[in-house]
A and B are shown apart, each in its own frame.
Chain A
Amino acid sequence: DSGVTQTPKHLITATGQRVTLRCSPRSGDLSVYWYQQSLDQGLQFLIQYYNGEERAKGNILERFSAQQFPDLHSELNLSSLELGDSALYFCASSSSGALVGELFFGEGSRLTVL
């Protein structure tokens, strides 16, 4: 158990809909990262937050947004969903904003868009 909690574990929705994925980092970790893992794809970095502030951005679509709240949990919002958004979405946390140690990954949220 990495200590990172993601909900929901599975989510099935229709095209055009909007969903919110939630992540609780390890106790004490200030930094949260979101990754997308599609079939036959590696882990694609989406965005990083540190203590509530956006710190680094990857290939995150404009239809996607994220935030980190004062209690350090984070949410990834996916809107106007398309079939191609079906993927595993991972959250990871670390204690540092500038990576010095390992990232601890959650078990992921599997999104299926029909």
Chain B
Amino acid sequence: GESVGLHLPTLSVQEGDNSIINCAYSNSASDYFIWYKQESGKGPQFIIDIRSNMDKRQGQRVTVLLNKTVKHLSLQIAATQPGDSAVYFCAENIFEEYGNKLVFGAGTILRVKS
């Protein structure tokens, strides 16, 4: 079935360093991808999205890269801060006949060391 997976379950970085979280997706027909951040005890929160007609999109301290050739997505966080510690999910939008669903990856834990 559909699946979106992550390469690294846990990533530890030093405060101030850049973080890169990777994700592989399986549905080559997907045309929309989103990164979500989930802090402990909270619901997922939107970080950044990208459509398949783009290969890069930048936000505030975050950049998403999309490589459709190898079906790979990455999230780069610049100057990582302690507040960035959370679980990060990539998600792939799959359209169905009358609706759609976001298929989420397993998640990567980001730990920021001070």
Interface hits, B57-94 → A, CB 8 Å: 89, 91, 93
A98-B32 Cα distance, complex, nearest whole Å: 11
Chain B 15-50 per-residue mask, 1 if CB under 8 angstroms from chain A, else 0: 000000000000000001010100001111110010
Q: B106: which of A42, A48, A101, A103 is its contact (CB, 8 Å)? A: A42
Interchain CB contact under 8 A, A48 and B99: yes
Q: A90: which of B32, B44, B105 is its contact (CB, 8 Å)? A: B44
Chain A 103-114 per-residue mask, 1 if CB under 8 angstroms from chain B, else 0: 111111000000
Chain B 90-106 per-residue mask, 1 if CB under 8 angstroms from chain A, else 0: 01010110111111111
Number of interface residues of A (CB under 8 A): 31
Instruction: List chain A residues, Cβ under 8 A from B42.
Output: 107-108
Instruction: List chain B residues, Cβ under 8 A from A56.
Output: 96, 98-101
Chain A 81-100 per-residue mask, 1 if CB under 8 angstroms from chain B, else 0: 00000000010100001111
Interchain CB contact under 8 A, A98 and B104: no
Cβ distance A60 to chain B, nearest Cβ, rounded Å: 11
Q: A102: which of B49, B98, B105 is its contact (CB, 8 Å)? A: B49
B interface residue numbers (CB < 8 A to A): 32, 34, 36, 41-46, 49, 89, 91, 93, 95-96, 98-107
